[in-house]
Amino acid sequence: MLALLSAQAGDLKLSTVVIDAGHGGKDAGAISKDKKYYEKNFTLSISALLADKIRKEFPDVKVVTTRNSDRFVELRDRAGIANKAGGQLFISIHINSAYSTSPNGYSVHILGQSSDKNRDLFAYNMDVVKRENSVILLEDDYSTKYQGFDPSDDQSYIFMQLMQNAYLEQSLLVASVISEKLKGGPIKADRGIWQNPFYVLWKTGMPAVLVELGFISNSTDLAALKQESKREDLATRLFEAFKEYKSIYDASMDIGGEHEPKVEVKESSQVLPDSLAEGPRFGTQIFASSRTIDPADPMFLGYVPVVVNIGSLNKYIIGIFESSNEARKANEKIKEKYPGCFMVKIEKNGVTRYK
């Protein structure tokens, strides 16, 4: 359970979820073969239903939506909305499409390389990836905003690998629960869980999934999506997945107080000054994972982390100082590279979030 502790661990329960209705406004998304139905309308309908269900059953959970109407929202702003809200879970809802009318079914995507070890990141499922990322081209001055990222260029996806491990395990859990709940629903075929370099997943500093709820290009899937009752069913299944994940997440966070596990600082080329017993230290936690990651991994962007182990969880902390003011100055620079990071206080008995 400790593996589910996210970098947002200052909150003991999952209190903020962000729901992203794909496309909108001048970006119609995928369009049906007869040109009558748009992805943007289906995603908005299902997202609104899901948001209402969460608000009704969990009034203490803050539900943030990236759009509530048929309006265009830039891709980077979707992630920005999620990060600014302090989201602990990001669910992006989409409808798939293909040139052929035969492909059908739902799939769930998390950030990363191809799920198939025999294929590289760029050769697998790139048609879907490029289509979902191509909304960037509709934005004014996109080359400046996205610092040269070109959604049509395979090479632009290389740098996305740097951050893929930060929330991988939590995202995979969410994806697994969603995939299971969608079984037997209006969209029949299960196309599995995929790892792909979607821009919006890369930029969100939290566990994140992108769900493709059927193919608008397939007559059977489209027939289901056109029915309000079927969209209601899909939203209910997504809600049940959220509820199950929240239950697991909340249970995993039920630690602390006098039961706080002992902190062990693992060996690293960067050493904590003196000993933890001499006083608190302050730093920036960039993410947490149950897996051990090599400090030389390129995802650390040149920083050398100190790894604090609590139970089965490894917390990766950089920018460590005796002074909270110095740590805060370092934190401002670190945020530019790790939007989801936060300050922590390191003491003998634990690592806690520091405001």
Given 232, 252, 272, which residue is the final one in a domain? 252
Given 223, 252, 281, which residue is the final one in a domain? 252
Confidence (pLDDT) at 15? 94
Residues 206 and 270 in one domain: no
Confidence (pLDDT) at 141? 54
CA distance 123 to 154: 9
Please report, in tens digits, the pLDDT of each residue of the chain (355 residues total). 333 334 444 446 899 999 999 999 999 999 999 999 999 999 999 999 999 999 999 999 999 999 999 999 988 889 889 988 989 999 999 999 999 999 999 999 887 654 444 443 334 444 544 444 454 444 455 444 444 445 455 444 444 444 445 577 788 789 889 999 999 999 999 998 887 777 777 778 789 999 999 999 999 999 999 999 999 999 999 999 999 999 888 876 654 433 333 333 333 333 344 444 466 889 998 876 656 777 777 667 788 888 877 655 677 889 988 899 999 999 998 887 776 678 888 887 667 778 7
Residues 207 and 297 in one domain: no
pLDDT in tens, 26-43: 999 999 999 999 999 999
Give the CATH number for residue 80.
Answer: 3.40.630.40
Residues 139 and 42 in one domain: yes
Residues 225 and 269 in one domain: no
Confidence (pLDDT) at 290? 56
Confidence (pLDDT) at 257? 36
Confidence (pLDDT) at 253? 60
Residues 321 and 212 in one domain: no
Confidence (pLDDT) at 266? 39
Six token digits for residue 149: 């990222």
79, 273, 281, 351 from 354: Cα distances, Å: 24, 19, 11, 9
Residues 99 and 236 in one domain: yes
Nearest CA-CA partner of 87 in 54, 120, 41: 54
Residues 14 and 162 in one domain: yes
Give the CATH number for residue 319.
Answer: 3.30.70.1070
Structural domain including 25 reads 2-252
Given 220, 252, 284, which residue is the final one in a domain? 252
Residues 109 and 71 in one domain: yes
What HEC string does the chain produce?
CHHHCCCCCCCCCCCEEEEEECCECCECCCECCCCCCEHHHHHHHHHHHHHHHHHHHCCCCEEEECCCCCCCCCHHHHHHHHHHCCCCEEEEEEEECCCCCCCCCEEEEEECCCCCCCCCCCCCCHHHHHHHHHHHHHCCCHHHHCCCCCCCCHHHHHHHHHHCCCCHHHHHHHHHHHHHHHCCCCCCCEEEEEEECCHHHHCCCCCEEEEEEEECCCHHHHHHHCCHHHHHHHHHHHHHHHHHHHHHHHHHCCCCHHHCCCCEECCCCCCCCCCHHHCCEEEEEEEEECCCCCCCCHHHCCCCCEEEEECCEEEEEEEEECCHHHHHHHHHHHHHHCCCCEEEEEECCEEEECC
Residues 279 and 241 in one domain: no
Six token digits for residue 229: 């009752």
Residues 174 and 38 in one domain: yes
Residues 270 and 245 in one domain: no
pLDDT in tens, 207-261: 999 999 999 999 999 999 999 999 999 999 999 999 999 988 887 665 443 333 3
Nearest CA-CA partner of 30 in 124, 114, 97, 129: 97
Domain count, the chain: 2
Residues 169 and 306 in one domain: no
